[in-house]
Amino acid sequence: MSRVLIVGAGLTGSLCACLLRRELQNKVQIEVWDKARGSGGRMSTTRPPDSSSHSADLGAQYITSTSSYAQSHQRFYSELLSAGVLQPLDSLVEGLKHRDGDENYMTPQGMSSVVKHFLSQSGADLFLERHVTGLYRRGASWEVQRKVGGSEMFDAVVLTMPAPQILQLQGDVGQMLSVSQKQQLEDVEFSSRFAVALFFPPDVVFSFPWSARYVSDSSIIRYIAADSRKRNADVLGRGPSLVVHTSVPFGLKHLEEDKEAVQPIILQELHKLLPGLPEPISIKCQKWRYSQVLTSVPDSPGHMTLLQRPPLLCAGDSFVHSNFSGCVESALSALSALKASL
């Protein structure tokens, strides 16, 4: 039995784990490690500290299937739809570009439920607050070092964090990279932005008609969602929530500032855009240093093999594009490489 470690409990990591289990059944023992306190990665759903009836998506907002991916990734969409994880997005999203054949979906339980679905299907052992700091080659195994609590040995490792974070790892990763691979990873560019979630008392009803709106007349705010309405959570008696995404230029400009210092600027702009907004009971701000991929690794199959035996692979949206279909492509491609090496 091979011991496989997947680093990152985001969509790519959870899909890798799930597909690996479905292909190799009980021939593998799968562990998923994430440095965060919860799973989801950039498909993150947050809750205020003092309420279990509120939640909001701070990262990815909805899932789109284009006509071509609706075919090639059909099994993933139908699986999530029949599990009730995805539902058609029926409410009004102002400014959403619609192309023929596009289908938009929302997640009634929040975006992280997509990741949780695949994780639970995978039967993998999930370890949170496990921050990988380095990888060392030890004969036919990889010794994986973590920030707290020593290191462990695995027969294969898949890294699914953004390319800049792969380059930060210590140990033998740097040596495994060829000159051109290193250059390709260094050339990956991400946008940065801030996200703010506001949670309101249960009786608050938003006065605007949309569930989300792309903002075109602000240099600070790019997108606002009545998150609870978007997810039809209002009708389930869930607490109202609002999510704001800043523009990328604003994100870049304030990238090195503390989110506590940036949050008031965003809120001031929000009140200009939505005058009369009621007082929230709780606010959460998130800095997405690595938000979405602007430039991915060119001509990539969806993953990068750093070493064939013992296998060390990189995957994630850095190798495709930043959305659901990009992560599916990456996981499929990493799976076929892993199968061939195990």
Pick from 15, 10, 71, 80: which is nearest to 45 by CA? 10
SS3 81: helix
CA angle 313, 319, 320 (to 5 degrees): 135
Query: Residue 69 binds which entry of ligand NAG, ligand FAD, none, with Cβ cut-offs from 5 to 8 Å by kind?
Result: ligand NAG
Euclidean distance between CA atoms 249 and 218, whole angstroms? 11
Interaction pattern, residues 42-81, with ligand NAG; x per rule: CB under 6 A: ----------------------xxx--x------------
Chain centroid, CA 13 distance in Å: 10
Chain centroid, CA 148 distance in Å: 24
- Cβ atoms 7, 159 nearer than 8 A: yes
194 binds ligand FAD (CB under 6 A): no
Closest CB to ligand NAG among residues 73, 182: 73
Euclidean distance between CA atoms 113 and 88, whole angstroms? 15
CB of 304 to ligand FAD, least distance (A): 13
Residue from 8, 110, 280, 310 touching ligand FAD (CB under 6 A): that is 8
Closest CB to ligand NAG among residues 71, 268: 71
Tokens 């979906």 — which residue? 105
330 binds ligand NAG (CB under 6 A): no
Q: Is the dihedral of CA 14, 311, 297, 187 positive or negative?
A: positive
Query: Residue 60 binds which entry of ligand FAD, ligand NAG, none, with Cβ cut-offs from 5 to 8 Å by kind?
Result: ligand FAD
What is the rounded (10 degree) CA torsion for 48, 49, 53, 57?
30
CB of 17 to ligand FAD, least distance (A): 11
251 binds ligand FAD (CB under 6 A): no
CB of 26 to ligand FAD, least distance (A): 25
> Which residues contact ligand FAD (rule: CB under 6 A)?
7-13, 33-36, 41-43, 59-63, 131-132, 160-162, 165, 193, 195, 245, 288, 291-292, 316-317, 322-324, 326-327
> Which residues contact ligand NAG (rule: CB under 6 A)?
64-66, 69, 321, 323, 325-326
